[in-house]
Every structure is written in C-alpha cells, then in structure tokens.
Amino acid sequence: MRTLFLSLFLIAPLFLFGQETIQEIDIEQIVPNTVKKYWLEMIDNGMGQPVSIPVIIAKGQTSSPVLGLVAAIHGNELNGIGVIQRVMDDLDIKELNGTIIAIPGLNGISLPLHRRRYVDEEDLNRHFPGKQEGNRSQQYVWQINQKILSKVDYLVDMHTASFGRENTLYVRADLSNAKIEQMAKLQDADIILNNKGIPSAGGKVSTTRTMRAEAMLKGIPTITVEYGNPQVFQADMIERGKNGIENIMSWLGMTKTKIRTYEQAVMCKKSYWIYVEEGGYLDLIVALKQEVNKDELIAVMRNPFGDIIHKYYSPEAGIVIGRSSNPINMSGGRIIHLGIKDEEK
C-alpha cells in the first residue's frame, strides 16, 4: 500500500482530474482529428505547487488557422467559460480544418476564489506584455503572452461586466481592420463599439496594455466580446456567444456550417461612463439597450430617508451599453455606460 501511495504521489503532478499537465502548448505533437484536454502550468503558488489552467485543443485535418478562445482573465467573468464549453461540445472534430485553442478559465488564481482581480489586487488585463522577472501580476501576464498568445492566429477575448454592473452583449473592435470588423459583425451582438484598443501617448504605444491590444500589436486579429453579467451563467448569452464563435469558424473555413445572420448591431463610434456626484440610493430609469435622448432623465439619487438629492440626465443622445446594478452608490460610482451611435455605419 505504501509503495502504491508513493507511486501515485510521484505521478500526481502529471495529471490533475484525469488530464495531463503540460508546460507548453505544442500543436504539432497532437494527432489530426483529435481533441486534447490539458492542464497548462503557469506559475508556482506560495507552497511551491504549480498553478495550472484548463486548455482544450481541437486539431482538425490541418494545423492552421489557429483560433484562440480565451475566457475569464478576470475571475468573475464566467459566461465565456460556458460559451467555450458549448462550442467544444458541439464540435465535429472529423469535419474541422485548423486548430482551436480554448482556455475556459484563464485566471487560475482568482476564479476559484470568486474574485475579479489577481492576488495582488491588480487587473491582469492592464499589465501586458508582462515581465518574465516582474512582480506577481507581471509574471502571470508574461506567461499568458508566451504560452498562449504566441500560438494563435485569431483571438476572441471573452469578458462580462464586473461586480455591481450589467452589460448588453457587445463587441469592442478596431473597425479600421477589415478582418477584425468581420469578426465583430459575425457576432450576435446588440452593440459594436469601434475601439482601437491600443492606448498611446505622444504617438507612442503605452508600456502597459490589455490582452487585446497586445495581440493586435502581434498582428493577431482580435475582438473583445462582453457577454452580460458577472459571476453567473446566462443561458441566452452563452447560446448567442456560441453562435458567434461558430460563425467565425465558418468564415475562417474551419467548418462548413452555414453562417448565421442577425439583425444589424447598433454601431457606436465611442462610449463613456457617467458617474454620480454624491452617494446615496440610486434609482436607474433607463434599461440596457435603451436609446436615450440628450437631457433625458436616466437616474435619480435619494438619501436614506427617500428624499431626492440629485437627478441625472444624459449629456447627449446615445444607447445604454451597460449600467449599474447596485442601488447603493457612493460618490464617483457608475450610472450608465453610454454609447454614441455612428450614424455613418
């Protein structure tokens, strides 16, 4: 018995929940027409144990193109995980051309802790390209950059709203890029927001950026899709997300599935959040996807006694992309995410 236990102990690092643990994704080592499930080691925790994330690799008759599907760089953004699982469940591997690399849970630290941010309270999605010898967030992001982004030709970065907020299904995409524009329009989106995604100052690219921006700088056509609300699985969002991913696969020639068509999404040229000036109990008047006029009432702030202390109006005409879901709102809290329509699109 002791010998058996020792043998299992020595083998355990190679297998978690019945899946092989790997240090690196190697598509060429995978047999064509095969779906492989791995744990990909990213970092070590404080006890010297590896922190691994789930990876599903579906390799069809050919290796390329490689479509990356990445969910939950923020630990409370779960709908993308459901999207990936549904896509892979319905995949006919015998009919697939190219490869899918799917990560149903990128933030291996925060997901099981029901947290949004990383262990050092940093936002991983603001630290690309990362640093090999940097701090905790920088090293984790560096691993994402090296082990995942370097392997894909196209990328869908899956998000949701954060705690205390709710979102439509909307896409952020650089519409000046024809491939990215097409990827965005293939989604069953309520809104498409034209957003270059690469922050700059004085004509120079910022030293830190999002995963989408990093991928785009590498020449990888990338869209960010926001699928609704945090810390939940929403069946409608997951179904619509699955359909959008399958549309991309068909457009890339990876499958022969007929591309689904949808009602045209509302095209927005910019967006911004509107914030409260003082704290209290916020009563939102407008709904998600609602179009509002300039000077239209959008929210009322009351004190704990029910007295109205402030009314908020839309500064210009637009559409509600996201909104606060928590009535308790302190000074500087969010009211709505307002998209400004692009009348030329």
Bridge partner residues of 165 (DSSP):
324
262 located within any domain: no
Long-range Cβ pairs for the range 181-186 (8 Å, 24+):
182/251, 183/154, 183/156, 183/221, 183/223, 183/248, 183/251, 184/223, 185/265, 186/244, 186/247, 186/248, 186/251, 186/259
Q: What is the count of structural domains for the chain? A: 2
| CA–CA gap between residue 291 and residue 278 (Å, rounded) | 25
| Closest residue by Cα to residue 171 from 155, 163, 183 | 183
Hey, what amino acid is at 230? Answer: P
Place of tokens 């779960």: 78
The pLDDT, as a whole number, for residue 13 is: 44
Per-residue pLDDT tens digits for 246-268: 999 999 999 999 999 999 999 99
Same domain assignment for residues 229 and 133: yes
The pLDDT, as a whole number, for residue 201 is: 60
How many alpha carbons fall within 13 Å on the CB side of residue 44?
Answer: 5
| CA–CA gap between residue 284 and residue 336 (Å, rounded) | 9
The pLDDT, as a whole number, for residue 314 is: 98
DSSP SS3 for 100: strand
Query: Which CATH number goes with the domain that contains 26?
Result: 3.40.630.10
Same domain assignment for residues 246 and 286: no
Q: What residue numbers bound the domain in which 336 lies? A: 271-341
| Closest residue by Cα to residue 192 from 220, 172, 165 | 172
| CA–CA gap between residue 203 and residue 162 (Å, rounded) | 31
Same domain assignment for residues 295 and 328: yes
Per-residue pLDDT tens digits for 169-202: 999 999 999 999 999 999 999 999 999 988 766 6
The pLDDT, as a whole number, for residue 2 is: 43
The pLDDT, as a whole number, for residue 343 is: 84
The pLDDT, as a whole number, for residue 8 is: 37
Same domain assignment for residues 119 and 148: yes
Same domain assignment for residues 197 and 276: no
Stretches where the chain sits below pLDDT 50 are 1-14
Q: Which two tokens stand for residue 24?
A: 């690196």
Q: Helix 235-251 vs helix 178-185: angle between axes, to the nearest 10 degrees? A: 140
The pLDDT, as a whole number, for residue 302 is: 97
CA 301, distance to chain mean position in Å, is 32
Overall pTM > 0.85 = yes
Q: Which of 200, 216, 251 is the last residue of a domain?
A: 251
The pLDDT, as a whole number, for residue 204 is: 76
| CA–CA gap between residue 194 and residue 182 (Å, rounded) | 12
| CA–CA gap between residue 35 and residue 89 (Å, rounded) | 11
User: Count of CB atoms within 10 A of residue 195's CB?
Assistant: 18
DSSP SS3 for 102: strand
Q: Helix 235-251 vs helix 79-89: angle between axes, to the nearest 10 degrees? A: 50
The pLDDT, as a whole number, for residue 233 is: 98
The pLDDT, as a whole number, for residue 264 is: 92
> In terms of C-beta density within 10 A (0-12 exposed, 13-18 middle, 19 or more buried), how is residue 304 classed?
exposed
